[in-house]
Amino acid sequence: MPESMERKFILGVDIGGTKIAAAIATICGEIVVRRRNPTQAQSGTDAVIHNILATMEETIASAKINPSQLLGIGIAVAGIVDGDNGKVIFSPNLPDWHEIPLENIVQQRFRVPVYMGNDASIAALGEWHFGLKRGVSNLIYVTISTGIGGGIIASGKLYTGACGAAGEIGHMIIDVNGPLCSCGNGGCWEALASGTALAREAAKQIAEGAETSIAELTGGDISKIDARVVFLAAKQGDELAKELISRLGYYFGIGLVNLVNIFNPELILLGGGVAKMGNLLFQPAIKVVRERAFSALANTVEIQPAILGDDSGVLGAVAFVLEHSA
């Protein structure tokens, strides 16, 4: 590695619907400083772009470096990203974001190379590069939170597909007669096995008169039920909450079966807020994989929590810059 590169830092940015996370890191993945600000997605495209740039500037200033010391800036964004042309084609978390040339906007502001990609694919790269230190050649990273996303490392390389959109695993169809998904299709994995799906089913059963303490945790307002509330109720022993999470685990496992049978990975890493439910979710999901995937493939794959936790996105963005700078 050139001596000039060893002196550089990298700015990694992870843009979501509710937060903008940024970190300055060394090329070894050591985070020097990190910042986290609200996205304010409902405020409009210009306001969000302003918040992104302000968060970047704040992070650089906190690290007490100049932009000229950056090897580059990596950006992770949920949705369809055209990395070749530096555009966010569509983001489900950012209203009215269509064909936004974010890469060029950032490059003009900081005058350093900028590389942008899908958040889950970039997180997969971060887990592989810094978490596993390239210890496996074939892995899938799955993030389960409000929705479900994924990233694929195949034969030691990030697989992005023909137009950079590979890894939209949350929108494989699990049940053709299933509930409507935010993408417009019905029965997607995301519509059946995400945090949103869990909250929807809990609210539905409560409205139908099910006995549970879930609603008490939101002061009786079922519109405020989310996955975190259901998990809290389950930890307190609520039977419906435990049953709902087990059901979620079943559908999550069905999706994992498809990934195992299609990609034959060595490892599946599970990240995102809902994955923090741990064994309540993992055990029923892994049970389905062992029962339904081809046995040789099921016996090959290991399924475990993600290594980098909440840093997978920003460190993935750092790794994304390194991939392009090699």
Query: Tens of pLDDT along 162-179?
Result: 888 899 999 999 999 999
Give 207: exposed, middle or buried? Use CB within 10 Å, 0-12, 13-18, 19+: exposed
Model confidence over 98-135: pLDDT tens digits?
999 999 999 999 999 999 999 999 999 999 999 999 99
Task: Report the percentage of the chain scoring pLDDT > 70.
Answer: 98
| Model pLDDT, residue 73 | 98
Nearest to 191 by CA among 183, 177, 203, 179: 179
From CA 193, how far away is CA 205, in angstroms rounded?
Answer: 16
Q: What is the pLDDT of residue 17?
A: 85
State how far the Cα of 34 lies from the Cα of 213, in Å rounded to an integer.
38
Domains in the chain, please, with CATH? Answer: 3-128+311-325 (3.30.420.40), 133-306 (3.30.420.40)
Average pLDDT score over residue span 142-148: 93
pLDDT, residue 292, reads 98
Is residue 242 predicted with pLDDT exceeding 50? yes
**Res. 138: pLDDT tops 70:** yes
Q: Other CB atoms closer than 10 Å to residue 1's CB: what's the count? A: 9
- The pLDDT, as a whole number, for residue 3 is 43
Tens-digit pLDDT profile for residues 229-241? 999 999 999 999 9
Angle at 117 between CA 155 and CA 252, to 5 degrees: 65
pTM of the model: 0.92
- Structure confidence at residue 7 (pLDDT): 58
Rounded Cα distance, 18 and 316, in Å: 19
Condensed to tens digits (0 to 9), the pLDDT of residues 282-302 reads 999 999 999 999 999 999 999
**Residue 260 pLDDT greater than 50, yes or no:** yes
Q: Which residue has the tokens 């923090």?
A: 276
Quick check: 197 pLDDT over 60? yes
Confidence of residue 1 (pLDDT cuts 50, 70, 90): very low
Q: Is the pLDDT of residue 313 over 60?
A: yes
* pLDDT, greater one: 301 or 325: 301
Q: What is the mean pLDDT of residues 41-50?
A: 94
What mean pLDDT is predicted for residues 37-60? 95
Q: Nearest 5 degrees, angle CA 128-CA 269-CA 80? A: 75
Rounded to a whole number of angstroms, the CA Rg of the chain reads 20
When pLDDT is cut at 50, 70 and 90, the band that residue 226 belongs to is: very high
In the structure, what pLDDT confidence band is assigned to residue 218 with cuts at 50, 70 and 90?
very high
State what percent of residues in the chain have pLDDT above 90: 87
78 in Cβ contact with 146 (< 8 Å): no
Residues 6+ apart with CB under 8 A from 295: none
Asked if pLDDT for residue 5 goes beyond 70, the answer is: no
**How confident is the prediction for the chain on average, in pLDDT?**
94
